[in-house]
């Protein structure tokens, strides 16, 4: 009886059928999906699946690559029938890449896989394959409201799960598809009021090191599900902005006050409370990075980029705006460092600085 008023019938490339219905004496439409292989029908209520209020469904579209879209008043969403998911496209026109409307009236895909979206606010061009970013809110399973907050660190663990560290909101845990998961009990025990700056999973022990505001550390052992939170005096209560691991399994920490501190894995016998030593005093540490050749790179505030030998515990080269011609950076405060290939390191200042690891020369972009 409910399916008597059928507003649209849609047959996808896999031979599955979608029906848009609006039963009498109901306040909203439904989507029925019939899986031809499984010979199974499911009903979808968009109020429950996407949190919509009053809505109307004006159309379905399947792209050449198989992705499906559903739209109407006041929404546009990707539909993944195989996962029973509707992924809402945010309507925030903050720049020319955004979209804002009250009603989608129609959708059409062209030969270059662009989707043309007709709305009450004009015509928008949308290319989902070129859209490189997805937005995810901070959420624990079962939260009635999602959170917005500053994210400082993201770590994908050896199990594939993703831990997100925030400023003053603690930790959030997701699976590889960014579905919220409960935090392990060991991390829940130290979760309150955590302001996280960086995270790293130690390759030799599997322990997860989390650096905090005011010189704090959390070390979590996934095997025992135990975590300890402590403030070692060597950090002098200064924020630990960065942590990196060298090829010998030692950890290096960079602080707000410009300390570069080494945790010697062998000397400490793996004990997180022992084995620390101050190696270097420089400017505030923006980034620490170990390249494939084993050098540690220290990106500082106003002191340039330091190439550091972790075996000899010394700086082997400094890159600044005052370096000799062909070797100078475009700024003295690099914020991020990344190895691009076997012979190229990228340092970010006000531009991209391509550093040749063989010759040491810098090419600015």
Reading the chain (365 residues) residue by residue, the pLDDT tens digits are 444 688 889 999 888 999 999 888 888 899 999 988 888 889 999 998 888 889 999 999 999 999 999 999 999 999 998 888 888 887 765 555 678 899 999 999 999 889 999 999 999 998 887 766 677 889 899 888 877 889 999 999 999 999 999 998 999 999 988 899 999 999 999 998 899 999 999 999 999 999 999 999 999 999 999 999 999 999 999 999 999 999 999 999 999 999 999 999 999 999 999 999 999 999 999 999 999 999 999 999 999 999 999 999 999 999 999 999 999 999 999 999 999 999 999 999 989 999 999 999 999 99
Burial 259-295 (b: 16+ CB within 10 A, else e): bbbbbebeeeeeebeebbeebbebbbbbbbbbbeeeb
Among candidates 138, 137, 146, 142, which has minimal Cα distance to 170? 138
Distance of CA 285 to the CA centre of its chain: 22
Instruction: Pick left, alpha or beta for residue 301 (phi over 0 → left; psi -120 to 50 → alpha; otherwise beta).
Output: beta
User: Distance (Å, rounded) from C-alpha 196 to C-alpha 146?
Assistant: 19
Note the pTM of the prediction, 2 decimals.
Answer: 0.68
Q: How many CB atoms lie within 10 A of CB 160?
A: 9
Q: What pLDDT score does 1 carry?
A: 46
Burial 117-141 (b: 16+ CB within 10 A, else e): bbbeeeebebeeeeeeeeeeebbbe
Q: Can you spell out the DSSP letters for 317-349?
A: EEE-TTSPTTS--S-S---EEEEEETTEEEEES
| 122: Cβ contacts below 8 Å, ≥ 6 apart | none
Q: What is the pLDDT of residues 266-309, one digit of tens each?
A: 999 999 999 999 999 999 999 999 999 999 999 999 999 999 99
């Amino acid at each position: 009886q409910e399916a008597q008023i059928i507003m649209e019938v849609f047959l996808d490339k896999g031979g599955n059928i979608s029906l848009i219905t609006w039963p009498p004496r109901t306040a909203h439409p439904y989507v029925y999906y019939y899986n031809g292989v499984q010979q199974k029908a499911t009903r979808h209520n968009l109020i429950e699946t996407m949190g919509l209020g009053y809505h109307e469904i004006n159309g379905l579209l399947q792209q050449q690559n198989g992705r499906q879209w559903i739209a109407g008043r006041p929404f546009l969403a990707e539909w993944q029938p195989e996962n029973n998911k509707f992924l809402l496209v945010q309507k925030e026109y903050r720049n020319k890449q955004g979209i804002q409307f009250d009603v989608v009236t129609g959708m059409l895909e062209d030969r270059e896989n662009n989707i043309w979206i007709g709305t009450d606010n004009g015509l928008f061009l949308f290319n989902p394959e070129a859209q490189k970013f997805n937005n995810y809110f901070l959420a624990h399973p079962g939260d009635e409201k999602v959170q917005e907050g500053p994210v400082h660190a993201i770590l994908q663990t050896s199990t594939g799960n993703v831990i997100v560290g925030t400023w003053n909101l603690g930790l959030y845990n997701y699976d590889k598809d960014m579905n919220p998961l409960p935090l392990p009990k060991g991390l829940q025990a130290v979760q309150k009021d955590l302001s996280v700056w960086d995270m790293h999973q130690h390759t030799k022990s599997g322990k997860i090191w989390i650096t905090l505001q005011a010189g704090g550390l959390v070390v979590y052992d996934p095997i025992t599900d135990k975590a300890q939170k402590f403030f070692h005096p060597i950090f002098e209560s200064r924020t630990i902005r960065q942590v990196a691991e060298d090829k010998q399994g030692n950890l290096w920490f960079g602080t707000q006050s410009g300390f570069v501190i080494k945790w010697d894995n062998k000397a400490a016998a793996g004990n997180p409370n022992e084995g620390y030593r101050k190696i270097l005093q420089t400017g505030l540490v923006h980034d620490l990075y170990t390249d494939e050749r084993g050098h540690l790179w220290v990106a500082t505030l106003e002191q340039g980029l330091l190439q550091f030998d972790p075996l000899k515990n010394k700086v082997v080269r400094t890159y600044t705006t005052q370096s000799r011609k062909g070797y100078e950076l475009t700024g003295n405060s690099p914020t991020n460092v990344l190895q691009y290939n076997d012979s190229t390191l990228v340092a970010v200042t006000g531009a991209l600085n391509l550093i040749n690891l063989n010759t040491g020369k810098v090419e600015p972009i």
